[in-house]
Amino acid sequence: MSLSIPSAPNSGLFKQGYQNHDAEDGAVLRNIDACRTIASTVSTSLGPYGRNKIVINHLQKLILTSDAATILRELEVVHPAAKLLVMACQQQEAEMGDATNLVMVLAGELLKKAEELLRMGLKTSDVVGGYERAGTVALKALEDLEIDRVDDLRSHDDLSRALRTVIASKQSGAEDFLASLVAEAVLAVLPKNPVNFNIDNIRVVKIMGGSLPQSRVVKGMVFGREPDGSVKKASRAKVGVYSCPIDISQTETKGTVLLHNAKEMLDFTKGEEAQVEQIVKELHDSGLRVVVAGSTIGELALHYLNRYGILVIKVLSKFELRRLCRVVGATPLARLGAPMPDEMGNVDVVETLEIGGDRVTVFRQENEATRTATLVLRGATQNALDDIERAVDDGVNVVKAITKDARLVPGAGAAEMQIIERVSRVAERTQGLAQYSMKKFAEAFEVVPRVLAESAGLDATAVLGRLYTAHSHQTTPSSGKKDKEQQPEVCTVGVDVENEDGTGTLDAEDEGILDLMVTKSWAIKLAGEAARTVLSVDQIIVARQAGGPKPPGPNPNWDED
């Protein structure tokens, strides 16, 4: 309602054009509705059988993915309350690089349950208080669900096992191959102290054509172009990296040259040629055999570089240039000339390979643990390659998380079912109105196994029924012993998306479906916090947008003659 109407409340308080959404439950329920809409958009993309979304952004770029972080980034959500949930997802992406969808789906479900409580007559303060207590209980329950851990971070098999489930949620069917590939790349660059592992040291190069099994790991950096000169290979070479153009410097002003006779005309360019040759000879004499240019390379300079047998390649991205400097141990130079010995880098092999019709240049260090490993991915379409890259990115981020906390909990919705059982049991022993919101908090976790079952085409109600039966039987303390009650056994029965035995359930531990505990813990923390924040809002005041003419949009008749 606009406050420009004289009869509106606080009509003289704000400037004309403000929108004010008031009435405690009215505003809260509207916010919940907006958040549920955005959550339902990405919930179908959860899990290995999650559906893909096609998002066409404002630049008309087509993005096909089931990665929630990418979908939400491209959607540009403007509703203030829904934006809070998107921010929670972005924080999860920044912190852990995985489980963004879990944050959104869980927060959406928590708000849906809160709406039921509000309609029953509870106050928002009761719901928020109950959710806060239940969140603490849920995180404590998660700590008790450890069933495995990555004991040896340098073991290829242990690392692949931990990465398998993460990659399966993005690339179902190719998880074993991709997990092995990512593990191989990570082990190639893992420093002596794994905590110092830098995710930026693992690069991805996408080459169209072929199929995924033809992808491989290259120790070193791969550039999707071949050297500019005629020299295509160098080994045990000194490297010079230049961020300036490799050409003779131009004057800022134009000059006029007066030629008196034919001889002067013949000799006109000789001075320039001699100057360029002198520069290239200096480079050659200093021991350089590979030159990397971050800018243009003049034709005359290229001729002399070829004549002196120096390999030259152009790398136009300044970020790639920095990474290459890190790999070869060189300093980027802003002036053209022979570098000092400590400014040069060393590389074991620079070679040009042909991968699927594309010629690429590889900088490879052979003797020591390489500083950078590159995954060369193959695939039929650009969209498929982009999605595989996101799966690889998630896998690499999870390795970074494993270096901090290597504990694993059962996947396939089993951990969530355990949290439901444990939080519900605490809720029953809680006095006052908080117990209702604690029970609803526990019920919200039901969304994960339900969505997994639904996306796999199973009967979600029947599968949930079997899961509840399995979990309540195994977590009930036997013979009323005190120590048993404190530490009930962990049940690892989860949803079988393949539905191999017809029941829709499996043992997550036996099947090797394991999730990282620290990722889940962050997701629960952020989803709970986002839901509580949205519930605490009782009024939204939106100012009118700043004045001025609207920027011109795209011309609708651009393709007409």
Q: Residue 45 domain-assigned?
A: yes
Flag whether pLDDT at 125 surpasses 60.
yes
* C-alpha distance across the termini of the chain, in Å: 45
Fill in the amino acid letter for 103.
V
The tokens for 499 are 């539905």
> Within this chain, do residues 434 and 507 fall inside the same structural domain, yes or no?
yes
Indicate the pLDDT class of residue 370, thresholds 50, 70 and 90: low
Contact of 365 with 327, CB cutoff 8 Å:
yes
Residues 227, 363: one domain? yes
546: left (phi over 0), alpha (psi -120 to 50) or beta: beta
| Same domain membership, residue 120 and residue 44 | yes
Name the domain boundary from 337, 352, 369: 369
pLDDT, average across residues 102-117: 86
| 297 and 246 housed in the same domain | yes
Model confidence at 559, pLDDT cuts 50, 70, 90, reads: low
Tell me the residue ranges of DSSP E strands in 243-344: 288-293, 311-314, 332-333
Q: Of the ranges 41-55, 73-87, 395-409, 484-498, which one carries the lowest mean pLDDT score?
A: 484-498
Amino acid at 560: E
Domain membership flag for residue 421 = yes
Contacts of 292 (CB under 8 A, 6+ apart): 239, 240, 241, 242, 312, 313, 314, 315, 321, 324
- pLDDT band at residue 306, thresholds of 50, 70 and 90? confident
362 and 447 in a single domain? The answer is no
244 with 339, same domain: the answer is yes
Residues 258 and 315 placed together within one structural domain of the fold: yes
Domain assignment present for residue 283? The answer is yes
Question: pLDDT tens for residues 425-464?
Answer: 888 887 878 888 888 888 888 888 888 888 888 888 888 8
Give the model's pLDDT for residue 488.
59
The bridge status of strand 216-219 relative to strand 373-379 is antiparallel
What's the pLDDT score for residue 480?
42
Contact 42, 90 (CB under 8 A): no
Task: Report if residue 204 sits inside a domain.
Answer: no
Mean pLDDT of 158-176: 81
Check pLDDT > 70 for residue 398. yes
**202-208 β-sheet, strand order:** 202-208, 373-379, 216-219
| Token duo for residue 503 | 């029941």
506 in a structural domain: yes
Q: Which of 311, 341, 369 is the last residue of a domain?
A: 369
Q: What's phi and psi for 100, nearest 5 deg?
A: -70, -35
String of b and e for 448-484 (b: at least 16 CB within 10 Å)? bbbbbbbbbebebeebbeebeebbeeebeeeeeeeee
Specify whether the CB–CB gap between 107 and 527 falls below 8 A: yes
In angstroms, the CA 206 to CA 215 distance is 9
Whether residue 244 is contained in a domain is answered as yes
Q: How confident is the model at residue 235 (pLDDT cuts 50, 70, 90)?
A: confident
Does 392 fall in a domain? no
- pLDDT at residue 233 greater than cutoff 50: yes
Contact call for residues 82 and 35 (beta carbons, < 8 A): yes
Q: If you average pLDDT over residues 408-414, what whole number do you get?
A: 82
pTM for this entry: 0.78
CATH of the domain at 334: 3.50.7.10
Query: What single letter denotes the amino acid at residue 503?
Result: T
Query: Does one domain contain both 77 and 130?
Result: yes
Residue 250 lies in a domain: yes
* pLDDT band per the 50, 70, 90 thresholds, residue 478: very low
d(CA 279, CA 296): 16
Q: Where are the alpha helices (DSSP H) in 123-240?
A: 124-143, 156-168, 175-189
Residue 445 gets which letter from DSSP?
T
User: Is 536 in the same domain as 429?
Assistant: yes
Which residue range forms the structural domain that includes residue 513? Answer: 19-147+410-542
CA-based angle 111:117:118, to the nearest 5?
85
CB neighbourhood size of 289 (10 A): 20
Query: Does residue 522 share a domain with residue 418?
Result: yes
Q: Is the pLDDT of residue 249 over 70?
A: no
Instruction: Residue 444: give its domain's CATH number.
Output: 1.10.560.10
Structure tokens at 356: 């699927």
Q: Supply the pLDDT for residue 335.
A: 77
Percent of the chain with pLDDT over 70: 87
User: Cα angle at 449 between 443 and 451, to 5 degrees?
Assistant: 100
Total of domains in the chain: 2
Whether residues 440 and 536 share a domain: the answer is yes
d(CA 131, CA 125): 10
Comparing CA positions, the residue from 470, 540, 544 lying closest to residue 505 is 470
> What CA–CA distance (Å, rounded) separates 73 from 60?
15
- Is there a single domain that holds both residue 362 and residue 266? yes
For 530-556, b/e burial (b = at least 16 CB within 10 A) is bbbbbbebeeeeeeeeeeeeeeeeeee
- pLDDT recorded at residue 482: 40
